[in-house]
Structure 1
Amino acid sequence: MSNSDPLEHFVAPYDDSVSFDELPDAPPTTGYRPSIMGWIGITVAVFWLAVALIGPFIAPYGENALPFPDAYSEFQSPRSGAWLGTDVEDRDVLSRIMFGAGRTIGISLSATLLAYLTGVVLGIGAAVSGPRVDMAMSRINDAFLSLPTIMLGLVVVAAVGSSIPVLIVTAGLIYASVVFRLSRAIGMEIMVMDFVEAAKVRGEGRWWIITREIWPNARMPLITDFGLRLIYVILFISSLSFLGLGVQPPKADWGSMVRDNLGALQYGGSIISVVAPALAIASLTVGINLIVDDVSAHGGGKLSKRM
């Protein structure tokens, strides 16, 4: 009778030449490569950002200067010396668009950053806290979400007064509620993952879980949503200015320029003074939206679903 193990025929012999690589900590990722539409969006966004930064230094005239002081006439058509014509006060439209770009983009970007700083901190904090804290924070946030954004902004600005700091804080806090809901949803989704449960079993603290587990996985959808939120804030600030509660004259921003020059449509003047700032708003928002769509498509469509 043979003393050999009967299972030896079913066990593959060990081969020292075979090596096994360790599994990666996360699925491999590839760098973002913009498509043609993505490059168009990037070009438009970079163009307006450059105008916002250096526009006041290269503008043909001052913000409230009159290009033709000896021949005053409102709503002049484009011509040499005023390539986009003049507005209701005979001011150069091109120069005011270049000055207004800094305020429109600067206020909107600052408000969006404030919204994300507040919303992400509170949203992820609610996701990692206990159910009672999460419930209380979520119900308070739902109360803010039930209020129309424009109406709430009008009430706050009308009560406190219109200034650039007030516009930034108002828009930032209004849109922080939306960011809170998104970041909390993403955080709750990640908190039930196996790798987070494993971290809890190892005894890792909340701060470690937030910085090492939640944020690396939530970063991409939140950054993508930042672009969408910036679009909404730009339109919100422009709407307030159009209603007369945004940037106050004689300072220029794109929304107030549309409002101030509506007379060109009524009295047969050159409508370029209305169309030019409106096209500036539209082109910037479309450019940012192209970038957001391209990044979402690069992520296989998962980002748009999660947002």
Structure 2
Amino acid sequence: MTNASPVAPAVAPDERRIAAWRLLAGNPVTLASAVVLALTVVVALLGPLLAPYGVNTIDVPDALQPPSAQHWFGTDDLGRDVLSRVLIATRASLLVAVASVAFALLVGVLVGVVAGYAGGWVDTVLMRANDVLFAFPVLLLALAIVAILGPGVPTTMLAIGVVYTPIFARVARGSTLGVRVEPFVQASRTMGTGHGYIMARHILPNIAGPIIVQTSLSLAFAILSEAALSFLGLGIQPPEPSWGRMLFDAQGFLDMAWWLSVFPGAAIFVTVLAFNLVGDGLRDVLDPKQRTMLEARRRR
């Protein structure tokens, strides 16, 4: 009588999820970046309460004052407190980034999942249309949309959302092509389960990892895109402040008031870097290959 070789017990999904969270919690860089983003969200929500002065309170005799105990970030050419404007501008910059990426996420994932699941002529038509949008440089396409529809917050959201939609569509389609051939998807189709139910119940949960990582990275680039459009005068319009608009206003005073560009530029840099680092950390725990390498490194 031969003894059967022992078989390692399968790891339950809950256990895998717990292990992934432990790996994420054990990454100090990702945790620090997540804390920075959490503080940024708090500032966006409580900006008017945290600002020591009104966002458009003009005090001409105090114009272009360097950082001091009274004005920590100095004042601009109209005597407005730069710290107050940076804090309140956080809401506008984050709002545009989140709204535009949410639009790109919903539309792009829907197009990508349908194209990857259906295949055939549906895939060809949707992806060729997607390739047309993808062929345009991101900023150039956004500039064209804003130039046609006019500057403003809603137009900026729409423009950034449109230019990032093809990226989500490609990520979703590529992941769907790998999942749709899995046995559980084929079994559901054989049993006559509706296509909508299969895509919602089986496809979407299994492609969530790449979509989450792409969302984090797209938020970082959306903030840069908003800042670029506002810097060119086509994004958020005065008197509402934004980080990009503050850089535009500061360009005439670079030689005499360095603080006008340093502080909004630092806000953009720190926020974008935090989103990118969180995206890297999520990729490490959501990608099976990366997670296996990370777990092996931790064990060693």
Structures share fold, TM-score greater than 0.5: yes
Kept in 2: contact 1:88–1:263 (CA 8 A): no
Kept in 2: contact 1:105–1:234 (CA 8 A): yes
What is the distance in 2 between the residues matched to 1:11 and 1:288? 56
Taking every aligned residue pair, what percent have the same amino acid on both sides? 31
TM-score, with length taken from structure 2 = 0.88
What is the distance in 2 between the residues matched to 1:219 and 1:176? 16
Cα deviation, residue 53, structure 1:
0.5
Q: Which runs of 4+ in 1 moved over 6 A?
A: 20-25
Q: Structure 1 residues 214 and 284 mapped into 2: Cα distance closer, same or farther (>3 Å)?
A: same
What is the distance in 2 between the residues matched to 1:124 and 1:207? 10
Query: What amino acid is the match of 2:154?
Result: P
The answer to whether structure 1 residue 176 and structure 2 residue 165 are counterparts is yes
The answer to whether structure 1 residue 259 and structure 2 residue 259 are counterparts is no
TM-score, with length taken from structure 1 = 0.86
Aligned residue among 22, 33, 40 for 1:48: 40
Q: Deviation per CA, 1:183-220, whole angstroms, max 9, x where unpaired?
A: 01111111112221122222222122112211111112
Cα deviation, residue 303, structure 1:
7.1
Question: What aligned pairs does 1:284-303 form with structure 2 within 5 A after superposition?
Answer: 284-299=271-286, 302=289
Cα deviation, residue 22, structure 1:
9.4
Question: What aligned pairs does 1:228-267 form with structure 2 within 5 A after superposition?
Answer: 228-265=217-254
What is the distance in 1 between the residues matched to 2:32 and 2:263? 20
Aligned residue among 150, 154, 162 for 1:165: 154
Q: Deviation per CA, 1:4-27, whole angstroms, max 9, x where unpaired?
A: xxxxxx688xxxxxxx99967858
Aligned residue among 261, 265, 278 for 1:274: 261
Q: Deviation per CA, 1:198-243, whole angstroms, max 9, x where unpaired?
A: 2222222212211221111111221121100111111111111111
Cα deviation, residue 262, structure 1:
1.4
Q: Structure 1 residues 97 and 194 mapped into 2: Cα distance closer, same or farther (>3 Å)?
A: same
Kept in 1: contact 2:138–2:163 (CA 8 A): yes
What is the distance in 2 between the residues matched to 1:284 and 1:170? 21
Query: What amino acid is the match of 1:200?
Result: R
Query: What amino acid is the match of 2:158?
Result: V
1:202 matched residue in structure 2: 191
Aligned residue among 211, 218, 228 for 1:222: 211
Q: Structure 1 residues 79 and 135 mapped into 2: Cα distance closer, same or farther (>3 Å)?
A: same
Q: Deviation per CA, 1:117-154, whole angstroms, max 9, x where unpaired?
A: 11011111112224111101110100110011111111
Between 254-263 and 24-33, report the one with greater CA deviation.
Answer: 24-33
2:55 matched residue in structure 1: 63
Larger Cα Rg: Structure 1 or Structure 2? 1
RMSD: 2.2
Gaps of 5+ in 1: 1-9, 13-19
1:3 matched residue in structure 2: none
Alignment coverage as a number of residue pairs: 283
Q: Structure 1 residues 301 and 282 mapped into 2: Cα distance closer, same or farther (>3 Å)?
A: farther
What is the distance in 1 between the residues matched to 2:121 and 2:273? 41
Q: Deviation per CA, 1:55-113, whole angstroms, max 9, x where unpaired?
A: 112211111113x44x243x210113211001122211001011110000011101000
Larger relative helix fraction: 2
